[in-house]
């Protein structure tokens, strides 16, 4: 076995490549555990299993000619309204996705902190800086 997976791991990976959920792949591979979600997650995060899935997903994407460049090109066409059956919603979504790809937007989250917060502001030391003053 050049991939280093046992039979259950291989069956799990193949089921994931077929589009099954982790839980479905876990069951189809023949695993049994009380907490199926935790078991499926553990198998999916196994480095050998994850590498096998990634390698084969990338190969399938290349075979289908789906590359990042292709996706960006399609989003540009849609955002400019040149796509077939385009709509204002599709144009807006395509523009949003292009902006996210280009890191143009920062998601902001409100955070509430209770308790004391200490912030030390330190400037670069001057040549005549004396820490004892």
Convert the pLDDT of each residue in 50-102 to its tens digit.
999 998 888 877 777 777 888 899 899 999 988 778 889 999 999 999 998 88
pLDDT tens, 25-60?
999 999 988 888 999 999 999 999 999 999 888 887
Of 40 and 113, the structure prediction assigns the larger pLDDT to 40
| Calpha distance 68→62 (Å, rounded) | 10
Instruction: Give the CA angle between residues 109, 117, 125 to the nearest 5°.
Output: 105
pTM, to two decimals: 0.47
What pLDDT does residue 29 have? 94
Residues 16-50 as b or e (16 or more Cβ within 10 Å = b): beeebebebbbbbbebeeeeeeebbeebbeeeebe
Is residue 35 classed as helix, strand or coil in its secondary structure?
A: coil
- Residue 10's CB is within 10 A of a number of other CB atoms, namely 17
Contact 48, 5 (CB under 8 A): yes
What pLDDT does residue 85 have? 81
Beta strands in 18-122 (DSSP E): none
Instruction: Give the CA angle between residues 63, 2, 48 to the nearest 5°.
Output: 80
Q: Which helix (H) or strand (E) holds 61?
A: helix 47-63
Tokens coding 91: 């144009």
């Amino acid at each position: 076995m050049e991939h280093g997976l046992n039979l259950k791991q291989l069956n799990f990976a193949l089921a994931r490549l077929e589009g099954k959920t982790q839980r479905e792949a876990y069951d189809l591979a023949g695993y049994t555990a009380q907490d199926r979600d935790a078991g499926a997650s553990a198998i999916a995060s196994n480095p050998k299993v994850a590498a096998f899935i990634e390698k084969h997903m990338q190969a399938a994407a290349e075979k289908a000619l789906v590359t990042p460049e292709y996706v960006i090109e399609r989003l540009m066409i849609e955002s400019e309204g040149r796509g077939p059956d385009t709509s204002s919603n599709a144009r807006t979504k395509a523009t949003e996705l292009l902006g996210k790809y280009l890191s143009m937007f920062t998601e902001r989250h409100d955070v509430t902190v209770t308790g004391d917060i200490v912030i030390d502001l330190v400037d670069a030391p001057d040549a005549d800086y004396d820490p004892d003053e």
